[in-house]
Amino acid sequence: MKVDKITISKPLVSEAAIKEVVRVLKSGHISQGEVVGELEKQFARYCGVKYAVAVNSGTAAIHCVLYGVDIKPGDEVITSPFTFVATANPILALGGKVVFADINEIDFCLDPSEVKRKLTNKTKAIFPVDLYGQPADYKHLNLRKGIKIVADACQAIGGSLDGKKVGSLADVSAFSLYATKNIMSAEGGVVTTDSKEIVGRCMMFRNHGQDPQRRYSYVDFGLNYRMTDVLAAIALPQVGRIDKITRERNLRAKRYTKNLSGLPGIILPVIRSNAIHCFHQYTIRVTDKAPISRDQLVIALNKANVFPGIYYPLPLHLHPHFMKMGYKEGDFPVAERIAKEVLSLPVHPAVTLKQIDFVSKVIKVACGEKGKN
């Protein structure tokens, strides 16, 4: 049987968005302007917070939120080693110290009891990552008064915890609008917060540290992290569809879970009972009890024209960049083991249920279950 290539992501740009981009391009105002303002308004409303600030990448959003809570040289920020490098580098850019804590194997997010062990009198912020789109355990991460909770929500727009949307769960949250994310603007990012002080700092940081009232008056360090109206026009129509996108991804996730449950040594994603998972990724674990290794399974899927993803093949602390800071193998055993097991299957809205059944069948056959082609 000839099958279409099934890839891990596919950016969808509606005709409405294309029209809006063309309108902006012809309008004469293409850099940060009204469309960015409207995106911020709608994004804040969606997340249920007072303020949103749009910037030109998720990395910029993370840099802004950490500056927003005043991370300074010597401050310690506790975060997950099982994430993309953009979580950690902005901490270093501000002179802060990256303090990793291990994750739990249920939701792949920071384990509050591990975070607790890393607290010192220099801890300035706890920085969980809502990995794959499930909110971290915010309820138990609020460990000490005075320590800010900052969220790397780059993968988690549409998720929620106890009925509260991601973006409103921390003191300040960073989102990415990169092309592969649940909603996107090719490149882009958004900061959300209820704090007037933090939003003021983020807006200033986005614009060279300039006094918002007085151009060419520089109050503090800052960079150019502004988003353009051209790219905001791509994202804007998607904001109204976030819940629909989340439902479509959950429908596909459910189908995988139904198809794949009971396979020996394969662990399927767990959704915490008080959470809505936005399934940026549907990530299974291929443990050593499975009849096939994770890497062999990737080969079997590739042969069937299916291209899953591995996020992430190695925890941050085992890369040279972080080993230079003294981290070593064995420091975070859960993250180290999980990195060898994870496999993310295509779950985006452009994948059909039929294709999901096909991917599931390939996995079942590879695991030794009998099946017709």
Binding site for ligand PLP (CB under 6 A): 57-59, 83-84, 86-87, 129, 152, 154-155, 176, 178, 189
Q: Which is nearer to ligand PLP, 24 or 177 (CB)?
A: 177
- 158/250 Cα distance (integer angstroms): 11
In whole angstroms, how close is the CB of 304 to ligand PLP at the nearest point? 27
Closer to ligand PLP by Cβ: residue 225 or 327: 225
What is the smallest separation between the CB atom of 140 and ligand PLP, expressed in angstroms? Answer: 20
- What does the block give as tokens for 280? 């940026």
The CB-of-41 to ligand PLP minimum distance in angstroms stands at 21
The closest of 239, 186, 231 to 43, measured between CA atoms, is: 239
d(C-alpha 365, C-alpha 368), whole Å: 5
Residues 290 and 175: their CA atoms lie apart, in Å, by 35
Work out how close the CB of 337 gets to ligand PLP at its nearest, in angstroms, rounded to a whole number: 20
Q: With respect to ligand PLP, which residue has the nearer C-beta, 65 or 253? A: 65
Name the residue nearer to ligand PLP (CB basis): 115 or 366. 115
Q: How far apart are CA 337 and CA 313, in angstroms?
A: 10
Instruction: Output 55 or 366, the one with its CB closest to ligand PLP.
Output: 55
Closer to ligand PLP by CB, 123 or 176: give it.
176
Shortest Cβ 46–ligand PLP spacing (Å): 18
The least distance separating ligand PLP from the CB of residue 132, rounded to whole angstroms, comes to 9
At its nearest, how many Å lie between ligand PLP and the CB of residue 271? 19
Select 86 or 335, whichever has its Cβ closest to ligand PLP. 86
What residue is closest to ligand PLP based on CB?
A: 58
CB of 176 to ligand PLP, least distance (A): 3
Nearer to ligand PLP, 154 or 170 (CB): 154
